[in-house]
Structure 1
Amino acid sequence: MRKGFGIGLSVLGGFLVTLAILAQFWAPGRLMKTPLDTDSLTLLDGTAELSDGTGGTTSFPVKAFSVTRADSERSDSDVIVFQNSSCLVKDEGEIDECVSADDPQERLVSASTDNFATNRRTAMAVDDPKYLPPSAEPKQGLVNKWPFEAEKKTYEYWDGYAGQPVDATYDRTESVDGLETYVYKIEVSDAPIELSDGIQGTYSVDREIWIDPTTGAIINQSEHQERVDDEGNPFLILDYGFTDDQVAGNADDAKSNAGALDLVTKTVPLVGWIVGIPALLIGIALQLMRRRTA
């Protein structure tokens, strides 16, 4: 009886210790990667002031839609390729999607498409023609998420309007729907841009981004943005951010994903070490005692 019990404990202990080693040292590198089936719709709302062409502005509520899909055929085990399309529209007529440039109500304010690639673990931009079409804009820094296990520090974050990476500085920790997030602040002042064909101006923004530190997912975002011409006249002023429903959905997804990661990378190793090592030692001791008795 003692023989079978000792062998059983040794086998169980060895299995749990091996599982703990795999979960702690092997699993994170396999699990902490941006999924290749990423397909997301991000919704924002707020207000805008648009130049009326006479030096004044017209104010109206706006909505923004941003669709980001992974291109699994171009992606691989290390790099994920994204296709993004976004638009800003006047919030009129219960609009729930982008409209075309020939919309009879003239609700389209702006629209754009983009292709980019990022490292699946660090989330840093990858500028490599192997993954991107020739028309893709070169990028640096973070683009659409933070790295797994984000830190309280300053990251480089790509700003498409400024056309360069800017500092995203850790500002504070804040709870969003019961999820602990890190809040990063971005400030850009008077970056030269082309407002429209042949019209030059500057771009400034004050932006805050709420990040789930475990997965690096963006939970919330808000900003005040100003685009003005060379004479200081407003071209477009925006105050907008993620909708309440978007924030709630992002927080729920992050809690679920972070919980699954914590289970594998933290709980399983802890149980493996706490239960596995004693079981292994007791099992070996019982077998040695049996041999001495025999």
Structure 2
Amino acid sequence: MRRVVPAVLVGVGVFLLVAAALLKFYAYPALAVAPIDQDSVTNLSAEDAIIFETDPNFLREVVTDLSVVNTTRGDVEASQEASDEEGEEVRVWAGTQTITSDDGAIRSQSRDRAAFDAHTGEAVDCCGGFSESEEDVRVEVQREGLIYKFPFGTEKETYDWWDNTAATTVPAEFVEETDIDGLTVYKFESVVPAGVVGTREVPGVIVDEPDEENVEADVSYANKRTFWVEPVTGAIIDRTEEQRSILEIDGEERAITTEANLSYTDEQVLENVEEYESKASLLGMVNGLFPLVALILGLVLIGLGLFLGRRDTGGSAHAGGRSVTPRKDVSKV
């Protein structure tokens, strides 16, 4: 029995070392991936936004509250095929954005489809990525940078964020570490400077050209995004956008088509905190606490087992080599 105990301790210790390695290098990478079957709805709102009323009877700027609903769903089959082709975990998500004014009218609706690395959040050029800002008018898009989320294990550094409207990446710079309702988050800011992103044919009266029936105007767009990111999962807990889109003629502003300060609703932020607080805690323990505890305990048990084994071996050897004093033969005395 004394020889069995050291062997058991060493065996359990080795098991714990293997478990620590599996948790760190297998379980964590398997868990730190974006869901393949994503199905979510994100709500944003903007108060006193300026939009352009395009009804033929009302060609004017209108102040209204906006409600924005983003629906995102994962394409499981496309994700599996892309993962096999790319040799890494790829996710293909499709989204729909619907913007509604406070009178219940749908002001715009757009769709998109994009592929990205399930671990890093970086765009992957595959799977028929597109953007559709007008019904049934799809434009093929080759995206770069981050799309839907930040990477698992987000660092305090600058990331490239893809902007659909500008059709380019924009640096998202780390600002500070803070918290939302007790949940640690990293704050990032991304600024899209004002610039022409396209042209649009509009009635001349809209852009102060009453003598012209239709005029081709430049569309200028600017945006400032602020992200509050849970760093373990890379999930965006809160987000604001300061969007501004105008019509220009020869570089001169003629009409505002959109001016809105969008942000996640309070209910959306609360929902995000509740969801990702537990996910971040579990993922953090799988990546850090659990492997560390298993490693330390494994080393302690192995050391204890080896110590007990050597002590027992040493004790047995001493007993086996012990000298015995010969007994006197009293008959010869």
> TM-score by structure 2 length?
0.79
Q: Deviations over 1:49-106 (max 9, x none)?
A: 123478852111110000111111011341110111111111335xxxxxxxxxxxxx
Alignment correspondent of 1:229:
247
Measured in 2, the distance between the counterparts of 1:145 and 1:195 equals 30
Alignment correspondent of 2:167:
163
Measured in 2, the distance between the counterparts of 1:79 and 1:227 equals 33
Alignment correspondent of 1:119:
117
Secondary structure in 2 aligned to 1:158?
A: strand
Secondary structure in 2 aligned to 1:41?
A: strand
Of the three residues 71, 91, 94, the one matched with 1:83 is: 94
Question: Is the CA contact 2:53–2:61 (under 8 Å) kept in the aligned structure 1?
Answer: yes
Change (3 A) 1:68 1:51: same
Question: Is the CA contact 1:116–1:136 (under 8 Å) kept in the aligned structure 2?
Answer: no
Measured in 2, the distance between the counterparts of 1:66 and 1:195 equals 26
Secondary structure in 1 aligned to 2:99?
A: strand
Measured in 2, the distance between the counterparts of 1:253 and 1:132 equals 31
Q: Which moved more, 1:220-229 or 1:21-30?
A: 21-30
Task: Give the residue type in structure 2 aligned to 1:49.
Answer: I
Alignment correspondent of 2:323:
none
Alignment of 1:35-184 (within 5 A): 35-47=35-47, 48-52=49-53, 57-76=61-80, 77=83, 78-92=89-103, 107-128=105-126, 131-132=127-128, 136-184=140-188
Task: Give the residue type in structure 2 aligned to 1:32.
Answer: A
Of the three residues 299, 306, 317, the one matched with 1:284 is: 306
Secondary structure in 2 aligned to 1:2?
A: coil
Question: Is the CA contact 1:195–1:235 (under 8 Å) kept in the aligned structure 2?
Answer: no
Change (3 A) 1:52 1:68: closer
Measured in 1, the distance between the counterparts of 2:39 and 2:191 equals 29
For the pair 1:211 / 2:212, whether they are aligned, the reply is: no
Task: Give the residue type in structure 1 aligned to 2:284.
Answer: D
Question: Is the CA contact 2:36–2:79 (under 8 Å) kept in the aligned structure 1?
Answer: yes
Alignment correspondent of 1:240:
262
Q: What residue ranges of structure 2 are gaps of 5+ in the alignment?
A: 84-88, 131-138, 202-215, 317-333
Higher relative contact order (CA 8 A, sep 6+): 1
Secondary structure in 2 aligned to 1:289?
A: helix
Measured in 2, the distance between the counterparts of 1:215 and 1:266 equals 14
Measured in 2, the distance between the counterparts of 1:79 and 1:273 equals 32
Q: What residue ranges of structure 1 are gaps of 5+ in the alignment?
A: 94-106
Question: Is the CA contact 2:112–2:129 (under 8 Å) kept in the aligned structure 1?
Answer: no
Question: Is the CA contact 1:115–1:136 (under 8 Å) kept in the aligned structure 2?
Answer: no
> TM-score by structure 1 length?
0.89
Alignment correspondent of 2:212:
none
Change (3 A) 1:136 1:260: farther
Change (3 A) 1:27 1:113: same
Identity, % of aligned pairs? 30
Secondary structure in 1 aligned to 2:124?
A: coil
Change (3 A) 1:229 1:133: closer
User: Which contiguous aligned blocks of 4+ residues in structure 1 show a shift greater than 4 angstroms?
Assistant: 52-56, 195-199
Q: Which moved more, 1:282-291 or 1:67-76?
A: 282-291
Measured in 1, the distance between the counterparts of 2:238 and 2:271 equals 10
Secondary structure in 2 aligned to 1:209?
A: strand
Measured in 1, the distance between the counterparts of 2:92 and 2:200 equals 28
